[in-house]
Each structure stands twice: as C-alpha cells, then as structure tokens.
Amino acid sequence: MSSSASTSLDNSELKCMEVWGGNGSRENHFVRPGVDVWITSQAVDCDLSGGSDLYLLSSCSSGRITRMMVAEICGQMPDFSKLSDELRELMKQNINTIGQARFVNEISRRFAECSEHGCFATTMICTYFSPTRSLSLCNTGNPPPLFFDSRQQDWSILKQAPANLDATPESWGVTDLEEYQNFETKLNSRDLALCFSNAITECRDARGKTIGLQGIYERVRKLDPAQPGQLISTLTAGIREEHPENLSVDDATILLCQGNQIRVPWKDNLLAPLRYFQGAIDKTEIE
C-alpha cells in the first residue's frame, strides 16, 4: 500500500440541499446551523483493492437537518463503487427527513445484499436537528463515540441500549450488542461528539499493545476541548508517535461535532420550499 498525501484543513462550505463527501485523504470543517463539523480522513490504499472509508455530509432545504455518515467498506473495487453509489443516493433521497429510521433500515438492507458478494461494511450515521439540538446516532461495528459535556467539563463513552428499529444487529451482520448502538442524545452549545473508525482503536502503543477504545478515551481526555479545530490533528499526531505502524495500514476517518449558537438564516427559511422541489445537489467525489 502506498501512504496517503498530507492534508491541510479546508474550511468548506456546505449549502442547503447539498450532499458532500467521498473517499481519500481530506481535512474539512463545515459550519451549519447549530453544529460545527470537522471531518478528517487519511487513506492508505490508493488502488482501493481492499475497499476504503466513505464519508458523506448533507444539509436539508432549510439547513435545520445536518446528516453525517462514515462507512468502512471492505470489498473489491466493483463492490465498493456500487455500495458507495447506493449510499450516496440514499443520502440524497433522505436529505429532508428528520428521523433517520427509514434511512438506517434501507442501508441495512443494502449492506445485507452486499455481504452476499463478499463485501462487508460498518457505519456510523449521525443526524443533527437544530431546533431541538437532538443528535441521533446509529453505530454498527464502529467504536462507540466519545462525548464531551460542556457543563460537566468531562468526556464519556457514548453508548446506550439500542432503540427499537426494524433493522436488528443481526441484519447488519453484527452479533455483539456492544457493536450496535442506536439512540438519541442532546448536543448543546460547546458539547462535542467524537466518532472514529476502527483503524483508530486498532493502533498500538509504544509497547506494541492495542490502544483500544479505553486508550483513545484516556488520550482524548488530555486534550483541550476549547480548541476543537486542533483536537483531531493533535490526537492523530500523538498516536503516530507511539508506534511506527500506526495509521499506516488502514484508512482512518474521524468525525467531530460541536454544538454552536448559529440559527437558520431567514433567507434559507424563505427559499426552503423552492430548494425542496429542485432536489438535492451532488457534490461528492468518490474515486
């Protein structure tokens, strides 16, 4: 595998009714009503022979709904391309849907079909609805997110018992309930939610021992939550220094959300019906 090129943080723009994302190495920061989003992905398999991480972000017709998805797809190029295209289309079709149950169930069905051809995928799906500051999460096979409560000034591992959904853990190919999480929480101003792919927890410390979720949690607690724009780069830089093979074997993607005080502009409210009927705009770049 060839190593990924260096990336620099891009303060990107995501407009209403747009779907952004792709695969490959990127560092992007988006500001949406109620939430800031940082996405960092470091790709190491440039020929996609074994699959890749896919990351997608969308905003509804008014900007109230921000949806994020990170998927680890393990499969040959034709399977990766097919599943990536299907996930992108599902993001577009559900761009104005507040609840993500239908979206999640449809993805579960696509994953099941893909597994019949030897393609396996895990995913983290997050939907933020700014009027209620609700953050819905569905995690299948990825490490549980970490959550920073700005009032308590402390981090915690964010996991709860799965909520009722037609899509069961078994339908995702997940047999351990620890690997299946589906619930809703609040993301208030200055709260943080940190999601990451398995490649992060699979890194090793200086003694060669797997860091694991608890190890990532302990390292994140030492970082400054008041500097969210530097949190991901500081975390990954520290992990790289611990072992020469860290973040050089598999694609690694990290998603960070922070609640903000930004409201939906009146112009976006006014234009929402027109955008709705015009349909979603595809700004993805999938190689």
Domain membership flag for residue 122 = yes
Nearest Cα residue to 258 out of 194, 192, 195, 196: 192
Residues sharing a CB contact under 8 Å with residue 78, sequence separation 6 or more, in sequence order:
none
CA 109, 113, 119, 120 torsion-angle sign? positive
What residues make up the domain containing 203? Answer: 12-279
Predicted confidence (pLDDT) per residue in 123-156, tens digit: 999 999 999 999 999 988 899 999 999 999 999 9
Maximum Cα interatomic distance, the chain, rounded to a whole number of Å = 58
Contact 87, 145 (CB under 8 A): no
Domain membership flag for residue 30 = yes
Contact 201, 211 (CB under 8 A): yes
Q: Output the CA–CA distances (angstroms, integers) from residue 81 to 8, 75, 86, 104, 135, in the order listed.
A: 26, 9, 9, 20, 29
| Per-residue confidence (pLDDT) for residue 210, from 0 to 100 | 97
Domain membership flag for residue 1 = no
Domain membership flag for residue 6 = no
User: Cα–Cα distance between 209 and 272 in angstroms, integer?
Assistant: 51
Nearest Cα residue to 240 out of 199, 196, 203: 203
| Per-residue confidence (pLDDT) for residue 44, from 0 to 100 | 86
Nearest Cα residue to 65 out of 139, 163, 131: 131
| Per-residue confidence (pLDDT) for residue 222, from 0 to 100 | 97
| Per-residue confidence (pLDDT) for residue 40, from 0 to 100 | 97
| Per-residue confidence (pLDDT) for residue 70, from 0 to 100 | 95
Q: Number of folded domains in the chain?
A: 1
Q: Which two tokens stand for residue 92?
A: 């577009």
User: Cα–Cα distance between 92 and 8 in angstroms, integer?
Assistant: 28
| Per-residue confidence (pLDDT) for residue 2, from 0 to 100 | 34
**Any idea what the CATH number is for the domain that residue 96 is in?**
3.60.40.10
| Per-residue confidence (pLDDT) for residue 180, from 0 to 100 | 64
Domain membership flag for residue 7 = no
Domain membership flag for residue 88 = yes
| Per-residue confidence (pLDDT) for residue 240, from 0 to 100 | 97
Contact 158, 193 (CB under 8 A): yes
Q: Which two tokens stand for residue 70?
A: 């990170």
Contact 211, 205 (CB under 8 A): yes
| Per-residue confidence (pLDDT) for residue 286, from 0 to 100 | 86
Predicted confidence (pLDDT) per residue in 165-200, tens digit: 454 545 444 434 455 678 899 999 999 999 999 999
Nearest Cα residue to 126 out of 169, 172, 182: 182
Domain membership flag for residue 284 = no
Domain membership flag for residue 274 = yes
Contact 60, 91 (CB under 8 A): no
| C-alpha torsion 189→15→13→197, nearest 10 | 70
| Per-residue confidence (pLDDT) for residue 48, from 0 to 100 | 52
| Per-residue confidence (pLDDT) for residue 119, from 0 to 100 | 82
* Tens-binned pLDDT, residue by residue, of the chain (287 aa): 333 334 455 668 899 999 999 999 999 999 999 999 999 999 986 555 567 899 999 999 999 999 999 999 987 778 888 899 999 999 999 999 999 888 988 988 888 887 887 788 889 999 999 999 999 999 888 999 999 999 999 999 988 655 554 545 454 444 344 556 788 999 999 999 999 999 999 999 999 999 999 999 999 999 999 999 999 999 999 999 999 999 998 999 999 999 999 999 999 999 999 999 999 999 999 87
